[in-house]
Amino acid sequence: MARWHEVAQALREAITAGAYAPGTKIPTEGQLEQRFGCSRTTIRRAIAQLTTEGLVLPVRKGGTTVREQPERHPLALDTHAYRDELGYYFSSAVQGLRPVEPPTVSEGPCPPDVVHLLGLRTGDPVIIRDRLMGNPETGQVVQLATSYLPTDLAAGTVLAEPDTGPGGIYDRMEGELGWGPLSWQGVISSRPATADEGRLLGLAPGVPVLAIARTAIATAGIAEGRVVEVNVTRRDASRFEVRYPVTRATRVAGK
């Protein structure tokens, strides 16, 4: 791993953990040089990477500020939750995708762009479930899927296990845990790709990802009314687009 990549990763983790709050400045280039024992060029390249990822915003003659995540406005797409023999799915476009590697499960701080969806604070811990989805025959990764679950609900349960059984986490939530029936809401956006997303999806330099964040809301049990999961899927935005029907209104605007 290149030195600038290591510096970027350290700063990224600090921002995610809440060490540098949105709207505040990270240390100056000189301070970062001393901290990491590297050149000014290395520091600038690391900051450029974080800028591309949308985490920081350089201010002319004013240092570098942690970027405040803007409010996202949802776009209507397919508003149905479907089910087949494997469990729930939310679009015919993804029904045929399968994991190309075993899922990974970890615990870490909630990312800044997910905090408000889960109703958490910056730095709060979450269970993180990562899956690489794609063509099961070729192994080509088409979609990255990451689920974020509040640790106070998920830690110590089957939701924190790599294998959650038939039907996945939603069947466990609605069945054994008694949180269902679940309801869902979706948000569509695009953003610059992280270095890992670019590598896993094979993105060309500068290509953003199409991101869909779907929240699962419990309607019963100890989690009633809470967002119990945020699932964020990312695809190559140069290869995929969102389409939706346009229906003529039945009344004239203003009347």
For 8-53, how does the pLDDT look when each residue is reduced to its tens digit (9 = 90+)?
999 999 999 999 999 999 999 999 999 999 999 999 999 999 988 8
Say what the pTM is: 0.76
Domain borders along the chain are: 3-66, 82-236
Q: Which two tokens stand for residue 155?
A: 């830690």
Which residues are within 8 A (CB) of 32 and not within 5 positions of it... i.e. 6 or more apart? 7, 11, 26, 43, 46
Return d(Cα 89, Cα 211) in angstroms, integer.
16
Return d(Cα 137, Cα 108) in angstroms, integer.
32
Return d(Cα 189, Cα 200) in angstroms, integer.
19
For 197-255, how does the pLDDT look when each residue is reduced to its tens digit (9 = 90+)?
999 998 876 778 999 999 999 999 999 999 999 999 999 887 888 877 778 878 766 66
- Assigned CATH for 3-66: 1.10.10.10
CATH 3.40.1410.10 fits 82-236, yes or no: yes
Return d(Cα 99, Cα 168) in angstroms, integer.
12
